[in-house]
Amino acid sequence: MDIDITLNGTERTFEAQRSDSLLDLLRRNGYTGTKRGCDTGNCGFCTVAIDGEPALSCVKPVATIDGTEIETIESLGTQDDLHPVQEAFVDNAALQCGFCIPGMIMRSRSLLVENPDPTEKEIREALSGNLCRCTGYEKIIDAVQDAAGRMGEEGVAADGGLVRGEGE
């Protein structure tokens, strides 16, 4: 079957099997930044955004995503020009093995778009579906708090105070 989606801003058509998940489709087509941790929707490593909402791509059958807009970690910054959330994770040393990080960053970005100034409790609630085994979460919480400040600043600078200011 053919699946038409807007992937990271570009309209694309992919060939897929009915049994494929969105994660299968992404990884098979070279979007390997999205990681497979459990295939049962329990770890959050495969988090992407579907129509702006965070979603677990490993439990999303391809048949249900036709016509949607998908954003993956590859849609954010580059190594030389990081997105504020990515920058905050780097600057706060909020990563070790890194396997959970693309999903964690996608989830954090969605949170901050929705809620530009979350409390620590709100961050902890929002990230509770994204596991990390290396960091003990401490520096990740710091990074998301830091990212909130950075996105706020960029938002003001880029588009006059609109919340969705991600420097895109």
Partner 1 sequence: MSRTDEPAEDEPAADERQGSEPSAEVRHPIEWDEAPNNQKSADERQAISKREEKNDARKIVTGESKYTADYAPNFPDLAEAAVLRSEIAHGYVTEIDTSAAEAMDGVYAVITPDSETVPDRKYTSAGQSYPEPSPWDLTILRRKVRFVGDPIAAVAAKNGDIADRAIRAIDVTYEELDPVLDPEEATDPDAPRIHDPEEVENAQPGADYERNVEAHDEGEIGDVDGTFEEAATRDDWVVTETEWKTPYQSHCVPEPHTTIARRDQDDRIHLVTSTQVPYHTRRQLSHLFDVPIRDVRVTKPRIGAGFGSKQSMLIEPITVALMEAAGRPVKLETTRREQFYALRSRRPARVRLRSVVTDKGDIKALDMSAVTNSGAYGPHGRTVTGSIGTKPLPLYTHTPNVRFEMTAVHTNLPVGGAIRGYGAPQGHFALEGHMDEVAHELGIDPIELRSRNLIAEGDLEAVSGITMKSEHVRRIRSCGLDECIAEGKAAIGWDEIEQPEEAHLHRACGVALTAQKSGVAGDELGAAHIKMNEDGSFILQTGAVDIGPGADTAMAQIAAEVLGARSEDVLVQPSDTDISPFDYGAYASSTTYVTGSAVKKAAEDARDQLLKFASRMLEEPADTLETRDGTVRSERTGESVTLEEVGYESIYGDEVRAQVMGQASFSTDESPPPFGAQFADVTVNEETGEFEIHKLVFAVDCGVAINPDLAEGQVEGAMHMSYELATSAGLSFDDDGTPETLGFRDYGMPTTADQPPLKSILVETYEPTGPFGAKSVAEIPVNGVPPALSNAIRRAVGVRVSDLPITAEKIRAQLDE
Sites of contact with partner 1 (CB under 8 A): 17, 19, 27, 30, 32-40, 42-43, 45, 72-74, 76-79, 82, 86, 89-91, 93, 95-102, 105, 123-125, 127-141
Structure tokens at 75: 């849609």
Quick one: 138 or 156, whose CB is closer to partner 1? 138
Least CB distance to partner 1 at residue 139 (A): 7
Least CB distance to partner 1 at residue 95 (A): 5
Quick one: 38 or 158, whose CB is closer to partner 1? 38
Quick one: 136 or 161, whose CB is closer to partner 1? 136
Least CB distance to partner 1 at residue 165 (A): 19
What are 50's strand-pairing partners? 53, 70
Least CB distance to partner 1 at residue 57 (A): 13
Least CB distance to partner 1 at residue 160 (A): 27
Other CB atoms within a 10 A radius of the CB of residue 102 amount to 22
Pick the closest to residue 108 from 60, 76, 153, 70 (CA basis).
Answer: 76
10-15 sheet: strands from edge to edge: 10-15, 2-7, 69-71, 47-50, 53-56
Quick one: 77 or 159, whose CB is closer to partner 1? 77
- Buried/exposed code over 5-43 (b: 16+ C-beta within 10 A; e: otherwise): bebbeeeeebebeeebbbbbbbbeeebebbbbbeeeeeb
Quick one: 67 or 121, whose CB is closer to partner 1? 121
Radius of gyration of the chain (CA): 16
